[in-house]
Amino acid sequence: MFLYRVTIFLGSFLLFLVQPIIAKYFLPFFGGESSVWIASMLFFMTMLFVGYLYSYWLSLSIVRKHKEIHLLVVIFSVGLLVVHAMLSNWITPIMPEFGGLFQVNNPTLMVILGLTVSVGIPYFLLSTTSILVQYWASKTQDNPYDLYNYSNLGGVLALLCYPIVLEAYVPLSTQGNFWAFLFAIYGILILVLMYKTPSTKNDENIGLITPFKGIKWVLWILITTLTSAILLTVTEVTTKGISAGPFSWLLPLIGYIISYVFAFRTWKLSTSKFIIKYIKFILSLSFLYIISLVLVGFNIIPSIVSETLSGKFFEVVSLLLIILPFFFVYAHRVLYLLRPTKKLLPFYYLCIAIGGVLGGLIINIVMPLIFDTYFELNLVISSFVLLVIFKEALSKNFLTENGFIKLNKKQVRYSFVFGVFFIFVASFVGDYFYKKNDDNVIYRNRSFYGVLTITEHKEKNGIISRELINGNIIHGVENVKKGEKSLPTSYYVKESGLGVVLDDLEKNNKNLKVGVLGLGAGGIAAYCKPGDKYVFYEINKEVVDIAHKYFTYLDSCKNSEVVLGDARIKLEDELKNKGSREFDIIIVDVFSDDAIPVHLLTNEAFDLYEKHLKKDGVLLVHISNTFLDLLPIMKNQAERLDKKAVYFDNAKWKNHKDIKIKSLWVGFVNKDNLRYDKYNTQEKEIKDIKPWSDDYSYIFDIIRW
């Protein structure tokens, strides 16, 4: 039994460990966008389903040589990694060098294709481990479900180990090689286990139709669909406003996997009663939350919560860690209690995997088509609470002593169908009124890169004010008056680090060459004068279209250019093919909601910026951020490049009360440049952290606790 436990533990450990490793590797290819993880989760869930389907097929009575078939899969998977290790264009056995290959219109599809090439076959093999090891153990053991706990513990350890140990101390390339080494050991363990497991025929009673008798399998799929959808939805919320990286990705997933550890085991009666009571208390609060959402139009309560917790990272994380796992424990406990006999074990796990894939498809594909905001959190939690009510109704049958009308099971099922219909109708009605009541919104759209909203306010003096909002963060404001050129606003006003530096450069240079990473509404182009050359790098084509259609900044800069694609990849291509751009200033203003893509803050990125600047050029980085303190990174880069760092925090300037929107910019200039010293606001000591590179970055170092 020891060999079964070790193999299933290591298989699960590798299955979950590769997820943050490879997803982090893919981030730079897609602009550091947090949606890379959501798309990756769809891939992982789909491959898990394929692995479970394969395992189920092997368990059918029609398959005679399932061990021989699986032996070929193991040899092919391990051999493939060996081949990758020998190829020069593979950084590690699981990390191919893609370059700018992914600059296309369908990033979700390209994330999935890239992951298929990188880890598709090894991940498929790992996804078969849990079912096959339990299935082989069922030939000699009475309760193979106990092995599932070892599988879940392996997953939890991997998810905890990555942000605390591997990401903190081990370079990314070494992580990939370490994983490949463990995978080879896993392959050996599987071969030994297959050799030692007694060869017996598959159960003759298991056919293709047998498992579909009854309704249990529908509930297995329904429960896991909802929990999967909740997991992905909460992950969307945490990553959009905090940071695109393993730390914010893995928090909800850890709670999800731990819930399986608690749910898939035998509980003592006293423990069971205590846990169930606490879970039901949490679910009752959630039910009241849903009722409140319906009553207030699906938007008042979330806004209160977000405003209350704004800037409080620790409180947000704590709230998620305390509440979220109880949803999962309740659902997965019901899933465990509905488990079948051991001969149907492969089909049981197949249904669980189907639910995971359906949840991923709903969040990645269906919801963006239905809603143009992140409205699904209310919908999936509402549906989950309804499922709880349905389950309790079936188990207690609406006891009359509590004042409820006693219903039979058929009536309860009809009530459930009506409840589902009500939830969906209420969601669409709520979404409709949410949009209708916001008369100032003239454009809103949701894509892989987030939700873009444009609001318009007409003032009495004839000025039209428009705002571009990415998620919850303003990415540009323009006050338009017919016949007049728009002035800089928001983060880009004259009384900001940007305004100070550009005004100074204009005085000392006739025709400026300006490189801008990130377009937004094009507000920086308000500083453009005849003869200036402004080059904007923007990954999202929708943003470019918005800048032309709804704002005048970009079109008013006659000698402007927009380069579509990830800024760093495009700058690297230009340097390689055309040489340095020789910019007078490079402005890094690339936001993804409230986070800056990590790959634009590494040593290699800053070296690239330096190569595209003139000798006396200025690098200016916008680091205003709610959750992350980016000053230590700026300090490291200034020391490494032997530059002077000037910190422009207009909230500390003498006239700060007259400045409506505060901003923090950091300028990198030659040490003999004294022109900006009077604006430097940095007084306190900045903490030391390990420098970030393409091979190492650790978000824990810069979180505002």
Give per-residue pLDDT as tens, 55-98. 888 877 555 677 788 899 999 999 999 999 888 788 999 998 87
Is residue 589 over pLDDT 90?
yes
**C-alpha distances in angstroms, 395 versus 278, 388, 392?**
18, 11, 5
DSSP sequence for 570-634: HHHHHHHHT----EEEEEE---BTTB--GGGSSHHHHHHHHHTEEEEEEEEEE---SSB--HHHH
Which DSSP category does 96 fall into?
A: E
**C-alpha distances in angstroms, 21 versus 17, 124, 151, 448?**
7, 16, 19, 21
Q: List 562's β-bridge partners, or say none.
A: 536
Amino acid identity, position 425: V
Lowest pLDDT segment from 141-155, 515-529, 535-549, 630-644: 141-155
Average pLDDT over residues 322-351: 79
Give the C-alpha separation, 405 to 407, whole Å: 6
- Residue count of the chain, please give it: 705
User: Quick one: pLDDT at residue 457?
Assistant: 85
Average pLDDT over residues 319-341: 76
Tens digit of each residue's pLDDT (9 = 90 or more) over 111-126:
999 999 999 999 999 9
Decide: 493 and 543 in contact? Cβ < 8 Å: no
Is residue 197 over pLDDT 50?
yes
DSSP sequence for 36-56: HHHHHHHHHHHHHHHHHHHHH
At 398, the pLDDT band (50, 70, 90 cuts) reads very low
User: Quick one: pLDDT at residue 308?
Assistant: 42
Is residue 209 over pLDDT 50?
no
Q: List 561's β-bridge partners, or say none.
A: 535
At 296, the pLDDT band (50, 70, 90 cuts) reads very low
User: Quick one: pLDDT at residue 522?
Assistant: 93
Decide: 252 and 386 in contact? Cβ < 8 Å: no
User: Quick one: pLDDT at residue 14?
Assistant: 97
Tens digit of each residue's pLDDT (9 = 90 or more) over 371-391:
777 777 767 766 776 666 666
At 514, the pLDDT band (50, 70, 90 cuts) reads very high
Lowest pLDDT segment from 235-249, 507-521, 522-536: 235-249
User: Quick one: pLDDT at residue 560?
Assistant: 94
Query: Checking phi first, is residue 464 left (phi over 0); if not, alpha (psi -120 to 50) or beta?
Result: beta
User: Quick one: pLDDT at residue 656?
Assistant: 59
User: Quick one: pLDDT at residue 304?
Assistant: 42
User: Quick one: pLDDT at residue 428?
Assistant: 56
Lowest pLDDT segment from 33-42, 189-198, 259-268, 639-648: 259-268
Return the higher-pLDDT residue of 437 and 475. 475
Return the higher-pLDDT residue of 588 and 681. 588
Residue that the structure tokens 């003592």 belong to: 268
Tens digit of each residue's pLDDT (9 = 90 or more) over 409-463:
555 555 555 555 555 555 555 555 555 556 788 898 888 888 899 998 887 777 8
Helices (DSSP H) in 398-524: which residue ranges?
409-437, 497-508
Lowest pLDDT segment from 159-163, 241-245, 283-287, 603-607: 283-287
